Structures are given as C-alpha cells and as structure tokens.
A and B are shown apart, each in its own frame.
Chain A
Amino acid sequence: MVSSIPVIRIRDTLLSAIQGDLSDRVAEAFQGDLLSRLERTGASGVLLDISALDIVDTYVARVLVETAQMARLMGAHTVLVGMRPEVAATLITMGQVLTGIDTALNVDDGLALLALPRR
C-alpha cells in the first residue's frame, strides 16, 4: 500500500513528516504503510513530525494517538515532534491532551528520547 505521506527509515527509527490535509483515505493509507514498514524492518521507534501542521483538529489528533497505539502493539515507541505553540494551545482548549503519546520539541530531541532505555 502506498500513501502520500513518506515514511523514511533512519537506522532503527521510522520518520514521517505529516503535512497537508489528512483526509480519511490518506490517514488510513499512512497508518497501513507505517505498520507494514514496522513489520518489515522491525524498527523500534517512530517519529511523527507535525511541525508543518497549522491546525490539528480532533480528527487528526485521534489519528495521531491511534497510530501511536498501533505502533506500540507492534512493539515500537512513538514520539510526536515539532508541535507548534498555537496548535498545542488549541488542543488543550479542546480538552485534547493526547494521552499516551510521547512528545519532543524536534526530531533531534525525539531521536534522543527514543535512544533512552525503554520505560
């Protein structure tokens, strides 16, 4: 399955920069793509870079959390990186705290977090 969101492998980590509109179809294709890559590569970490997203609505938030949960079931640790301040403020206002998904400021920090021994 091929999605319009590229998944890049860096050593033991899969990196995806999410941008543009995340439609139902794109989201599903992306999840499928990511999970099959996890299966093939046995990667232990996933970085979801959302620094290009101006808006994260409840739908996108749910997709992100679910993606992290799916990856965890397959044994990978997901870190969400690069959220913009205004996006964070809006999510909190909506009562959406993205429970259960780790966060980091940028890809660098995300990689550092993934390199730590698993909690």
Chain B
Amino acid sequence: MRSESQPDYMRRLKLDADELANRRRFFGITQEDLERLGALRPVAERHMTSIIAGFYDLLLEHPRTREFLGDPQLVNRLQRAQQSYFLGLFDGRCDLAYVEDRLRVGHVHERVGLPLKWYLGAYNRYLQLSAAALRKELPLAEAQLAEASLQRLVFFDLALAVDTYVAAQIETVARHRAAVDELSTPVIRVFDRVLLLPLVGTIDSARAQGIMETVLKRVSDQEAKVMIIDIAGVAVVDTQVADHLLRATAAVRLLGASTILTGISPQVARTVVELGVDISAMHTRSRLADGIELALSLLGRKITAAAS
C-alpha cells in the first residue's frame, strides 16, 4: 500500500500498461523468465537469510555505509524490507503492482538519503550472492539461465530506482526554484510613488521574464511614477542582461512611469559601452542615493538640509 506521503511516481513517471510493456520489452523480460524465477521461490526462501546477511556484510565493511547504518532500528527495518524485496524477485510477476512496489523501495532509499552509488553497488552484491546460491542448487546450465533471468529483472528494478531518485531530484530543484523566484524580485516602496527593486545574483531569461511581470504589476498596482532598479548585486551584466533591463524600461514607460537604473559599477559601465548597448533611453546613476534623489526630482520634490 502506498503511504500518503509518497509522491505518485506511477503518474509522474507515466508508468501505465503501455510503458510497462515497453520497459519489459526493452529489458528483455519474458513470461518464461518470470515463470523460471517463480519456480525458484523455494530456493530463494532457503537462501534468503544468508544472502541478506552477505549483503549487510558489504554495507558494514565500508566505513561510510556503516556510519549510515549506525541506527540499529533502521538496520532492523531495512532487513525486513530487504526480505520482502528479495522474495519479490521470485514472485513470478512483473506487473504494475510490482512496479509500484519497486518505486516505493526506491523512494524509501532516496528519502533516507542513501546515495545512488551505494544503492547500485549493493545491487551488484545482490546479484553475485544470488548467482552463487543458484549454482549451488542447480545444474550449471539451469543456473546460468536463472541468473540471466534474475539479472534482467534486477536491471529492470534498478531503472525504476534510478527513476525515483531523478524524479525526487527534479522535484527538489523545482521547489528551490520556486523559493528563489519568490525572493528574486523584492519590490520595495521607498517613497510615495517611488519603487525600488534591488536585483541580486544571476539574471537569466526566465528570471528576467519574472522581473518584468512583477515590475509592471507593482507599478500599475501602486501607481508608481518611478521604478528604481539597483543592479549593484547583479553578478554579470552582459548584452543579454542589458537587453532585459532595456525591455523592462520600455515596458514601464508604456505604463506611464520612468525607470532609473542605479548601482552601476565602473566595470559595468565599461562593459555596457564596449558591448555597444544603447542605454541612452534610461536614466542611470552610479549610487542608489543619487537614484533616489533623481526619482524625487522627477516627482518635483527634493531632499534639503533641515534648517538649523
């Protein structure tokens, strides 16, 4: 049964009957393979304990994995899960329920943070131990056939495990991306009808699009007359970034407001001129403070010293 917290990998990986048939074909898993493995279930049950023990020997031999398995309760739980996983290989089936079960196994390992390299290395040990057991029990020719069947199914499983890892990573990246996007356009109201957008970091096309949308929306919502964009924190100002800024300026103008670009370092000034970008349409200032003064003067106001 799928726990509630587990993401729906079946849907996300588009694992339907078609995809399952495709995968089985690609990995060369035939009905014959499954029947052969199913018939070996008694053998598997007999050797299960020693194979899993051998498997844990590998994990406990290595300092890093040993450290990982430091919690005896975790080891206990894993061992039980391991048994059901192992016997699952000899169920003689490879249907959607089987796939779902395999995805769950991958998910659990991803969740506890087991690196993929150990996961793959451990699978290898699994195959070796199983092959050794099969050779003890069966005539060589039959053992080889069984090994081949087992290998196909194990590789099929591996692909699913890797898929869950990748899917989880993609999701993590998407989540971070959303968090960064939220933080990437902090528009501040510095004065009546004057907004400030301090930009920090790298500006790519996707972010530039977001910046444009936020800036226009805020200018319109707050009826701003001046939008100050401070680029002191922007890592690289190249032609593309300059172009994005120019487009934002043009769009802000269409709404009826002005843009002031501040935080222009000597290096940026040099780059912009060397790149031949025409920024004559923009108000620019080196320091943010000067930008704010310019903004106020556009509003017909100015900062004066207090009368003493």
A85-B213 contact, Cβ under 8 Å, with A92-B250, A106-B223, A109-B225: yes
| B250 and A83 contacting across the interface, CB-CB below 8 Å | no
> Across the interface, which residues of B come within 8 angstroms of A84, CB to CB?
220
| B225 and A91 contacting across the interface, CB-CB below 8 Å | no
Interface string of A67-105 (1 = CB under 8 A from B): 000000000000111111111110110000110000111
Give chain B's interface residues, CB within 8 Å of chain A: 212-213, 216-217, 219-220, 223-225, 247, 250-257
Task: Determine the distance from Cα of A83 to Cα of B220 in the docked complex, in whole angstroms.
Answer: 9
Give chain A's interface residues, CB within 8 Å of chain B: 79-89, 91-92, 97-98, 103-106, 109-110
Interface centre among A79, A81, A97 (most CB of B within 10 A): A97
Nearest first, the 7 closest Cβ-Cβ pairs linking A and B are: A85-B216, A104-B256, A103-B256, A105-B256, A88-B254, A88-B251, A92-B251
| B212 and A83 contacting across the interface, CB-CB below 8 Å | no
Chain A interface main SS type: mixed
Q: Which of A97, A106, A109 contacts B254 (CB 8 A)?
A: A97
Q: Which of B219, B223, B225, B247 contacts A85 (CB 8 A)?
A: B219
| A109 and B212 contacting across the interface, CB-CB below 8 Å | no
26 contacts between A and B (CB under 8 A): A80-B254, A84-B220, A85-B216, A85-B220, A87-B254, A88-B251, A88-B252, A89-B251, A91-B254, A92-B212, A92-B247, A92-B250, A92-B251, A92-B254, A97-B254, A98-B254, A103-B254, A103-B255, A103-B256, A104-B256, A105-B220, A105-B224, A105-B256, A106-B223, A109-B225, A110-B256
